[in-house]
């Protein structure tokens, strides 16, 4: 019963708002309170979920008379250039705006809010889709951005490598892990894993998987490995996109098989500047990440 209370309240509020208000009456009241600014007539439809109020055009337009973009929120973006001509301000919202907007949106005193509510940002960045543009597809209730063209389930391993940071602009790492955990591990193996150590056999025919991590050093003192595709490939792949390792090996336990200081091959995984920064990691993490591999640190 408790589970129904929240949805019921939400639906109730949805239903109540249009009933309680005369919708457009309220808007009209607001317009009466504040005189309508002069504005040129937009020729296009609003593109944001909550367009700014569109006051009636009462006189000859003079864009320079006003400074807020709110008055022009319903215009076609291309028309903005007409007013900004000669102003020395670069036109925005061009063909590559999806790639470029982050740089503008992260600055202080940004004016995105003049035309877009936060919902416009979050529908892409946090999943959702109240403003359903006809050209945009969706998976479940979430928008699929243009970068996720066609069969993104199959293509995303390629796209995720273009710029490893891109995925995390919208997806928390836990989102990736949550989805990957639904698949069998063998279905998601990347190329380097296909000749995994467990498949390899020792000279006497015993599989690697028959040994414990405590026995690694007896055959591989100092972590020395024979040349093989997997050992070099996995290291390169990991360095190039460590986030992708994390999507399946969330806690990194599998890495400890060889990279722990306690057992296994004891291969040092740290970056070159480790000696300089290790104290920071120790103090900031409270030793949490150190304890995973070291008894003393």
Closer residue to other proteins, CB minimum distance, 61 or 169: 169
205 touches other proteins (CB under 8 A): no
Q: What does the longest C-alpha to C-alpha distance in the chain come to?
A: 93
Helix (H) or strand (E) holding 109: none
295 touches other proteins (CB under 8 A): no
Q: Do 70 and 52 form a contact (C-beta atoms < 8 A)?
A: yes
Closer residue to other proteins, CB minimum distance, 223 or 269: 269
63 touches other proteins (CB under 8 A): no
Shortest separation between residue 52's beta carbon and other proteins, angstroms: 10
Among 140, 205, 222, 295, binds other proteins (CB under 8 A): 140
40 touches other proteins (CB under 8 A): no
Q: Do 127 and 173 form a contact (C-beta atoms < 8 A)?
A: no
x/- binding map, residues 253-292, to other proteins, per CB under 8 A?
A: --xx--x---------xxxxxx-xx--xx--xxx-xxx-x
Planar angle of CA 15, 18, 21, nearest 5 degrees: 135
b/e burial code for range 269-291 (CB count within 10 A of at least 16 → b): eeeeeeeeeeeeebeeeeeeebe
Q: Do 147 and 158 form a contact (C-beta atoms < 8 A)?
A: no
Within 13 Å of residue 235, how many CA atoms lie on the same side as its CB?
Answer: 13
**Cα–Cα distance, 215 to 110 (Å, whole number):** 59
Shortest separation between residue 192's beta carbon and other proteins, angstroms: 10
b/e burial code for range 103-135 (CB count within 10 A of at least 16 → b): eeeeeeeeebeebbbeebeebbbebebebeeee
1 touches other proteins (CB under 8 A): no
Shortest separation between residue 66's beta carbon and other proteins, angstroms: 15
**Cα–Cα distance, 220 to 207 (Å, whole number):** 15
**Cα–Cα distance, 297 to 275 (Å, whole number):** 12
**Cα–Cα distance, 211 to 202 (Å, whole number):** 10
145 touches other proteins (CB under 8 A): no
- Residues 233-252 touching other proteins, rule: CB under 8 A, are 236, 238-243, 245-246, 251-252
x/- binding map, residues 154-173, to other proteins, per CB under 8 A?
A: xx-xxx-xxxxx------x-
- Residues 5-24 touching other proteins, rule: CB under 8 A, are 6-7, 9-14, 16-18, 20-21, 23-24
The site that binds other proteins (CB under 8 A) totals a number of residues, namely 121
Shortest separation between residue 282's beta carbon and other proteins, angstroms: 9
Among 185, 194, 209, 262, binds other proteins (CB under 8 A): 194
Shortest separation between residue 83's beta carbon and other proteins, angstroms: 11
93 touches other proteins (CB under 8 A): no
Among 122, 196, 225, 248, binds other proteins (CB under 8 A): 122
Joined tokens for residue 146? 């243009």
126 touches other proteins (CB under 8 A): yes
217 touches other proteins (CB under 8 A): no
32 touches other proteins (CB under 8 A): no
Q: Do 119 and 49 form a contact (C-beta atoms < 8 A)?
A: yes
Shortest separation between residue 166's beta carbon and other proteins, angstroms: 9
């Amino acid at each position: 019963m408790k589970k129904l209370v929240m949805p019921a309240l939400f639906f109730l509020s949805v239903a109540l708002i249009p009933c309680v208000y005369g919708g457009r009456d309220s808007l009209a009241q607001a317009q009466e309170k504040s005189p309508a600014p002069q504005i040129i007539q937009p020729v296009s439809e609003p593109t944001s979920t909550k367009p700014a109020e569109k006051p009636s055009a009462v006189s000859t337009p003079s864009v320079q008379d006003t400074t807020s973009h709110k008055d022009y929120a319903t215009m076609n973006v291309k028309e903005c250039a007409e007013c900004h001509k000669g102003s020395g301000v670069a036109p925005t919202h061009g063909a590559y705006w999806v790639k470029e907007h982050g740089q503008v949106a992260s600055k202080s005193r940004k004016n995105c809010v003049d035309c877009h509510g936060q919902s416009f940002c979050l529908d892409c960045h946090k999943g959702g889709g109240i403003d359903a543009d006809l050209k945009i597809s969706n998976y479940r209730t979430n928008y699929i951005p243009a970068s996720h063209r066609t069969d993104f389930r199959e293509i995303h391993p390629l796209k995720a490598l273009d710029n490893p940071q891109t995925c995390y602009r919208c997806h928390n790492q836990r989102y990736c892990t949550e989805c990957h955990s639904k698949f069998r591990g063998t279905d998601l193996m990347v190329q380097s894993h296909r000749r995994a150590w467990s498949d390899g056999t020792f000279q006497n025919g015993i599989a690697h998987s028959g040994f414990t991590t405590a026995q690694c050093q007896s055959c591989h003192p100092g972590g020395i490995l024979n040349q093989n595709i997997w050992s070099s490939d996995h290291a390169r792949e990991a360095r190039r996109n460590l986030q992708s390792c994390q999507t399946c090996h969330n806690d990194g336990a599998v890495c400890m098989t060889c990279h722990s200081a306690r057992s296994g091959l004891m291969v040092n995984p740290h970056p070159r500047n480790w000696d300089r920064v290790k104290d920071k990691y120790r103090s900031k993490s409270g030793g949490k990440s150190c304890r995973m591999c070291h008894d003393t640190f």
